[in-house]
Amino acid sequence: MINKIFLLTLQLFVFLSSLNFIGHVKGSVGDHLSYYRKCLTDCLSSNCSNQEELEKFWTNQPVHLNLTLWSCEEECKYQCQWSTIDFLLVELELERNLLPQFHGKWTFYRFFGIQEPASALFSLLNLVTTYLAWTRYAKRILQESPSDDLDKGFTVGNIVDPYFKVTTIGAILSMNAWLWSTVFHSRDTLLTERLDYFSAFSTVLFSFYAIVVRMIDEHLDLPGKRSTIHTSLLLPFISYYLYHVYYLIFVQFDYAFNMKANLVAGFSSSLLWLIWAYKRLATIPMSQLKDHHIVKCVISILLVNCLLIFEINDFPPIYFILDAHSIWHFGTICLPFLWFSFLEKEALEGQAKKKPERESSSKTKLHCN
């Protein structure tokens, strides 16, 4: 069993690496429209070509656009996108669902300088719900843990949930990803885009790691060496993550490669979680399945993968506000409560099963004495 898991992990890493050979995404259709190109050239020439014009531009900019650091060039691109859209809709009578992207992005109505208001808001809400769900989980786990263990800090191996550290690191990575998603959707710059993509991939890859260590732990059943196993298994994941970031920064920032790497890691993680859940559910009587906490795990995984339909199948924004990506973010807002509730109950159920064993062991020792 363990050899199969290691082999699967190795094969997935090889496949992820092979994605580097996929061609990169080129410019959008809107970038090449003659109307847009002429508008942009005229705007840059009139407003951004010398210091005097730039000073005038900054003076005339509203305060909220200055605060959100919209440059002269970016403002020209934004205004020319709307000018081109108006031309396509009014003059050419193009249908809205046929409108093109510009520079790899859809055009949205700004809100006080926020570039994609819906996605930014939903990302922020995901950050809040992840924090609330994790704090509730952590509070319950620490309350149920023996006080003498807690006095020794988080290095102890007998906290109620043996995966408390793994879950906490995963929560921190997830909150970090939602933070940078909020920033990126508020202002799309080279830096915020990179931080958003790298943070998101760290969450996806760590989720893959979390189920791998759980399955290997349960197969080996070596609680005393759990920390060593977790650290050893983490190294190849960190190595691939660093390679992934290095490739995107120093070799080629390939959007298709990054998307496929996320999908492979995400689907692999989901598959292993479903296999793990199926094995657990197979041991539970049918009468108890409906209210069992493992069902929450299955529902969470299935919902995430169903919502990926919006991430993969993009479409123009509805009323220039809601696009597929923002709907994907909206759909995941409440999932942290379901997921951390499952992890909490899984840990407490495991603890409840261990109590009779410890009590039996203690009685045996007393009897022998």
Q: Which residues face 318 on adjacent strands?
A: 322
pLDDT beyond 60 at 23? no
Which pLDDT band, with edges at 50, 70 and 90, does 25 fall under?
A: very low
Q: CA-CA distance, 246 to 255, in Å (whole number)?
A: 14
Q: CA-CA distance, 296 to 79, in Å (whole number)?
A: 46
167: tokens are: 């879950």
Three-state SS letters, the chain: CHHHHHHHHHHHHHHHHHHHHCCCCCCCCHHHCHHHHHHHHHHHHHHCCCHHHHHHHHHHCCHHHHHCCCCHHHHHHHHHHHHHHHHHHHHCCCCHHHCCCECCECCCCCECCECCHHHHHHHHHHHHHHHHHHHHHHHHHHHHCCHHHHHCCCCCCCCCCCCHHHHHHHHHHHHHHHHHHHHHHHCCCHHHHHHHHHHHHHHHHHHHHHHHHHHHHHHHCCHHHHHHHHHHHHHHHHHHHHHHHHHHHHHCCCHHHHHHHHHHHHHHHHHHHHHHHHHHHCCCCHHHHCCCCHHHHHHHHHHHHHHHHHHHCCCCCECCCECHHHHHHHHCCCHHHHHHHHHHHHHHHHHHHHHHHHHHHHHHHHHHC
* pLDDT per position as a tens digit, 73-89: 999 999 999 999 999 99
What length does the chain have? 369
* pLDDT per position as a tens digit, 213-244: 998 888 776 666 667 777 888 899 999 999 99
Please state the rounded mean pLDDT for residues 148-167: 66
Please state the rounded mean pLDDT for residues 305-325: 89
Give first-to-last CA distance, the chain, whole Å: 41
- Please give the mean pLDDT across all residues of the chain: 83
pLDDT of the residue at 120: 96
pLDDT beyond 50 at 156? no
Q: CA-CA distance, 243 to 254, in Å (whole number)?
A: 14
At position 47, the amino acid (one-letter code) is: N
- Cα distances (Å, whole numbers) of residue 64 to 70, 81, 208, 350: 9, 20, 41, 53
pLDDT of the residue at 200: 96
pLDDT beyond 60 at 355? no
pLDDT of the residue at 233: 84
Q: CA-CA distance, 135 to 141, in Å (whole number)?
A: 10
pTM, two decimal places = 0.83
* pLDDT per position as a tens digit, 256-301: 889 899 999 999 999 999 999 998 888 777 766 677 888 999 999 9
